[in-house]
């Protein structure tokens, strides 16, 4: 019994060298190796929806930054601009991941709003702008939560990226909530 336990421990600590060496083949697949467990096309489709959402958020925050007026709104404008730049960073991360998965990031402006989870907003007053941004952040948080749940452990790289983006969206939602108070 002692010998079989030792054999089990030895085999469970070894890694599959043949699979590792096989990863060197099919170089045209880039970062996607034979061991990739996710449904690549489904992940790419989800990521393209997230990309559209982030791009719409960039546009919304930029519009709010440029159109918010009044001396008392300088710090709010600065917050809008900071969020726009962070949303652009998220879009860049997502587009890069889509390419790593051998997909095509969809930047088509003609269908951007339809593919986005969040809505564009053209509110004229600052309080409405803040509310629209809070709503959009909450929508993004829930979309990312569902994507993370759906991906599970099948694609740890994408999951890790989405967890990081979701954490930033939660910060954004807190910022917008605080501005409303």
Q: Where are the domains of the chain?
A: 39-180
Whole-number Cα distances in Å, 81 to 65, 100, 147, 162, 172: 6, 29, 27, 22, 12
What pTM was estimated for this model as a whole? 0.85
Which residue's structure tokens are 């088509």?
Answer: 108
Render each residue's pLDDT in the chain as its tens digit; 181 residues.
555 454 444 455 788 887 777 766 766 666 776 677 888 999 999 999 999 999 999 999 999 999 998 878 889 999 999 999 999 999 999 999 999 999 999 999 999 999 999 999 999 899 999 999 999 999 999 999 999 999 999 999 999 999 999 999 999 999 999 999 8
The CATH number of 39-180 is: 1.20.1260.10
Is 113:120 a contact under the CB 8 Å cutoff? yes
CA 64, distance to chain mean position in Å, is 22
């Amino acid at each position: 019994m002692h010998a079989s336990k030792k054999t089990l421990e030895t085999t469970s600590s070894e890694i599959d060298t043949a699979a590792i060496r096989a990863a060197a083949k099919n170089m045209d697949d880039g970062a996607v190796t034979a061991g990739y467990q996710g449904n690549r096309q489904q992940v790419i489709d989800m990521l393209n929806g997230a990309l559209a959402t982030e791009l719409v958020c960039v546009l919304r925050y930029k519009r709010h930054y440029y159109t918010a007026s009044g001396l008392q709104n300088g710090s709010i404008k600065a917050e809008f601009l900071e969020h726009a730049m962070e949303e652009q960073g998220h879009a860049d991360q997502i587009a890069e991941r889509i390419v790593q998965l051998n997909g095509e990031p969809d930047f088509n402006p003609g269908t951007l709003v339809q593919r986005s989870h969040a809505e564009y907003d053209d509110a004229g007053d600052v309080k409405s702008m803040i509310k629209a941004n809070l709503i959009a952040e909450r929508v993004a948080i829930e979309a990312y939560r569902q994507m993370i749940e759906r991906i599970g452990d099948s694609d740890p790289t994408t999951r890790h990226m989405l967890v990081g983006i979701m954490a930033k969206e939660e910060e954004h939602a807190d910022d917008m909530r605080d501005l409303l108070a």
